[in-house]
Amino acid sequence: MKILLLKKFLSFDKDCNNRKSKLSLYLNNFSVLITVLSIIFIVLIISVNDGFKLTINELMISLNGKYKISNKYNQKLTDNDFNSISSYLSNETLISKLSSKKLIVKNRNLSEPVNIIAFSNHENFINKIKDKLISGKISNDEIIIGQILAEKLNVNIGSQLIFMDISSSIKEVDRLTVGGIFNTNIPNYDKYIIYGNRLLFEKFIDTNYDYFLTNYNIKNIDFVKSEYIVSSIYELNDNLFNWLDLYDTPIKMLVMFILIICIFNILQNNFLYITSQRKNLYILKTLGLNNIYIYSIIIFRSLLTLSFSCLIAFIVSYSILIIESNMNFIKLPEYVYFTNILPISIDYTLILYIFPFMTLVLLVISIFFYFNFIKRYEF
């Protein structure tokens, strides 16, 4: 008798021809559907948000390196500085020697201000700008320019550009050939930056260097810390990364809000179900089941709904993420999101965080509500 009543109470044995049973079944299914959709949205939001942050981090590091080394007294760096720093590093550690200069570039009657980045050798250039080339190639004999700049100046591979330095008293002019066009999805790069070997810009820069770049954590070397200024990519672009942190906060709040709504949805479904099964509760109580046992049944039903919903939700959400990461159906405006495809970071450990967290919150809230509910109706 007790087993039959428990099965009926847990919805394991229902008569679907009964109108009340049909309504209860509909509410149960609807609750599971809402929970599944909520968890799917949570996984998708977290994956896309993490993918966006990872994309920006990787893009900034690939274009700038992790650490910038400059002189403490705002002077040029020399080959002696390079040799001194290199002596503390292994031979495999890559350090790029760079110079920069603001110039005016012209093609026919079109002109634009630019910032040239001059490297010593493209094979030892830590910047991965070659991975961003959409046409041409990077070499020591020709320059590469951004796509926006190329469109503004109406130039292609093989075109020649006139460079002018109007900041000095002697107006230096030179003509250089475009060997490649890149697209980083960062407007300031694609519009203003030009890369080339320092020998091509010898009329505009001297033999020394403005700064060095490396991916090695050179801040740990006492000599370098005492003699030079070492800035990380995060310090050099603090506005961008602060914006990412601010952008991240409302996303986390949204996820928490969806989680709480999802949990209350499960609890509300149980409240409605308990109300509809009040007669069976009284019979169970009469047969000798105490409040703790009945409360355990309610908790079990909640956890069963949550577990089933999480299983379905994680399967569906990860399937969507895998398909999108391979097929790239969703396109984005590249100069807004720094990428033209939906950035995704698939983290399979999310289930280790989401399910235990929801279970914990569910138990904490249900202890309060269910205890008051049971005590109020004196089951």
* pLDDT tens digits for range 14-47: 445 556 566 667 777 888 899 999 999 999 999 9
Query: What integer pLDDT is reported at residue 271 of this predicted model?
Result: 73
46-91: pLDDT as tens digits: 999 999 989 888 888 998 899 999 998 889 999 999 999 999 888 8
Stronger pLDDT, 365 or 158, i.e. the higher one:
158
255: left (phi over 0), alpha (psi -120 to 50) or beta: alpha
Average of per-residue pLDDT across 350-356: 91
Structure tokens at 116: 């040239």
Distances (CA, A) of 215 to 61, 86, 92: 8, 13, 11
Give pTM, 2 decimals: 0.79
Residue 105 has pLDDT above 80, yes or no: yes
pLDDT, averaged across the chain: 85
Query: What integer pLDDT is reported at residue 13 of this predicted model?
Result: 46
Q: Are 263 and 255 in contact (CB under 8 A)?
A: no
DSSP collapsed to 3 states, 115-147: EEEEECCHHHCCCCHHHHEEEECCCCCCEEEEH
Domain positions in the chain: 2-60+240-377, 68-216
Residue 84 has, within 13 A of its CA and on its CB side, a CA count of: 15
Q: Which residues of 2-12 are buried (b: 16+ CB within 10 A; e: fewer)?
A: eeebbebbbee
Residue 1 has pLDDT above 70, yes or no: no
